[in-house]
Amino acid sequence: MSTRPITGKITTIERHILDEQSAFPDASGTLSGLLYNIALAGKLIASHTTRAGLADILGSTGQTNVQGEEVQKLDAYAQRIMFQLNDHTGRLAVMGSEEVEDPIPIPDKYPTGKYVLVFDPLDGSSNIDYNVSVGTIFGIYKRVTPSGPGTLEDLLQPGRKLVAAGYIVYGSSTMLVYSTGNGVNGFTLDPSIGEFLLSHPNIRLPDKPKYYSANQGYQSRWSEGVQRFTRWLRGEEGATHSLSLRYIGSMIADVHRTLLAGGIFYYPADTRAPNGKLRLIYEANPMSFIIEQAGGYASTGREPVLDVQPTALHQRTPLFVGNRELVEKAEEFIARYG
Ligand code: AHG
Ligand code: MN
Ligand code: MN
């Protein structure tokens, strides 16, 4: 083991959350506690994803979720962890999860609080069996109902109202990325000490985009505007440069790469999925909040994602996220050709 003294400044996630809180002298620490708890949930879920093959927890539970998809065992575990770590703290009025059909109430025996937590406990779960990155996405709102148990109304808020959002990606290392509306910071889990350490301060999308990312297997089902836009990204349709392609099929990992390398990720509407596949509340809004906080832009193809007023808990939305000029170009093609 190296005996070299540690010279760089080490910022744990706890310290970072508290530093951010100190900018708000009236803050009660409730949001900080909530964020720290989510980091803890991330560590617990990461400890399972890294041992997935060993612990015989790979594969399906044999059930389907509200989206009609197979529930993987790790989905169920991640759902339980997120719920159990947050149900009793008195910080939340209600929760909403991609894996649960209705609003998730706080059990009667516990107090309710002023925040609302929405999450996708495990995004990209179709990739679990192949050792490909998956992750947990979360968003935090202030409740809009005055007191008592939270309701559907508390969950149906536009992304613009997010107080904080972020994700934990379980990749070659585990990383937590979050924003409270004051820029984006990334933390890497040091497994030897079990702490998230600040590794990516003040993340901004690079000016020069590197990759485009979409499931081109569905290209023939896309609208003319989206097909032409894709050709433009590849240097056709009058483009003066072209981008390289990456598609993992785990939105969390595809957007994470877009955040760090620059480019665009999109999951458009298609003839079989008129609103696309991704869920507005659990996936699109938190990731869009992060991308916009890092200087990028997120659109449905016709309007900013964060301005969409949700009308149903599990509603889907087409999504285009990444460097602003690329996302605006997608809007241009869609406005012109549909
Ligand atoms: P989830 O695992 O939470 O159900 O989400 C999967 C989503 C998203 O992560 C990814 O971008 C998309 O499904 C991939 O879909 P395709 O296989 O249709 O490309
Ligand atoms: Mn998902
Ligand atoms: Mn999921």
Q: Are strands 244-245 and 211-213 parallel, antiparallel or unpaired?
A: parallel
13-200 and 211-337 in the same fold: no
As given in the structure block, the two tokens for residue 325 are 């000029």
CA-based radius of gyration for the chain: 20
As given in the structure block, the two tokens for residue 143 are 């409740």
Residue type, 306: L
- pLDDT of res. 72: 64
* Ligand 1 pocket test, candidate residues 250, 280, 288, 319, most atoms within 8 A of CB: 250
User: Among the atoms of ligand 1, which is closest to the Cα of residue 217?
Assistant: 19
Report whether pLDDT(252) > 70.
Answer: yes
Q: What mean pLDDT do residues 12-40 have?
A: 92
* pLDDT tier, 60 (very low <50, low <70, confident <90, very high otherwise): low
Q: What is the pLDDT of residues 85-126, one digit of tens each?
A: 999 999 999 999 999 999 999 999 999 999 999 999 999 988
SS (H, E, C) the chain: CCCCCCCCCCCEHHHHHHHHHCCCCCCCCHHHHHHHHHHHHHHHHHHHHCCCCCCCCCCEEEEECCCCCEEEHHHHHHHHHHHHHHCCCCCEEEEEECCCCCCEECCCCCCCCCEEEEEEEEECHHHHHHCCCEEEEEEEEECCCCCCCCCHHHHCCCHHHCCEEEEEEECCCEEEEEECCCCCEEEEEECCCCEEEEEECCCCCCCCCCEEECCHHHHHHCCHHHHHHHHHHCCCCCCCCCCEECCCCCHHHHHHHHHHHCEEEEECCCCCCCCCCCEHHHHHHHHHHHHHHCCCEEECCCCEHHHCCCCCCCCECCEEEECHHHHHHHHHHHHHHC
As given in the structure block, the two tokens for residue 26 are 């009236």
- Residue ranges covered by each domain of the chain: 13-200, 211-337
Instruction: Say if CB 143 and CB 115 are below 8 A apart.
Output: yes
The closest residue, in CA terms, to atom 12 on ligand 1 is 249
* pLDDT tier, 24 (very low <50, low <70, confident <90, very high otherwise): confident
Residue 215 Cβ inside 6 Å of ligand 1? The answer reads yes
Terminal alpha carbon distance of the chain: 60
Q: How far apart are CA 94 and CA 86, in angstroms?
A: 10
Phi-psi map region of 223: left, alpha, beta (phi>0 left; psi -120 to 50 alpha) = beta
- pLDDT of res. 128: 86
Q: Could you tell me the distance, in angstroms and rounded to a whole number, from the CA of residue 337 to the centre of ligand 1? A: 26
- CATH superfamily of the 13-200 domain: Fructose-1,6-Bisphosphatase, subunit A, domain 1 (3.30.540.10)
Q: What is the mean pLDDT of the chain?
A: 93
- pLDDT of res. 53: 67
Report whether pLDDT(57) > 80.
Answer: no
pTM of the model: 0.94
Residue 216 Cβ inside 6 Å of ligand 1? The answer reads no
Q: Which residues have a beta carbon within 5 Å of ligand 3, which is an ion?
A: 98, 120, 122-123
The rounded percent of the chain whose pLDDT value lies above 70 is 93
Q: Could you tell me the distance, in angstroms and rounded to a whole number, from the CA of residue 39 to the centre of ligand 1? A: 23
Residue 249 Cβ inside 6 Å of ligand 1? The answer reads yes
* pLDDT tier, 301 (very low <50, low <70, confident <90, very high otherwise): very high
Of the options 3.40.50.150, 3.90.550.10, 3.40.190.80, 3.20.20.70, the CATH number for the domain spanning 211-337 = 3.40.190.80
- pLDDT of res. 5: 60
Q: What mean pLDDT do residues 176-195 have?
A: 96
Q: Which of 5-9, 149-153, 205-209, 314-318 has the lowest mean pLDDT?
A: 5-9
As given in the structure block, the two tokens for residue 96 are 């909403």
Q: What mean pLDDT do residues 320-325 have?
A: 98
Instruction: Say if CB 185 and CB 179 are below 8 A apart.
Output: yes
Q: How many residues would you count in the chain? A: 338
* pLDDT tier, 17 (very low <50, low <70, confident <90, very high otherwise): very high
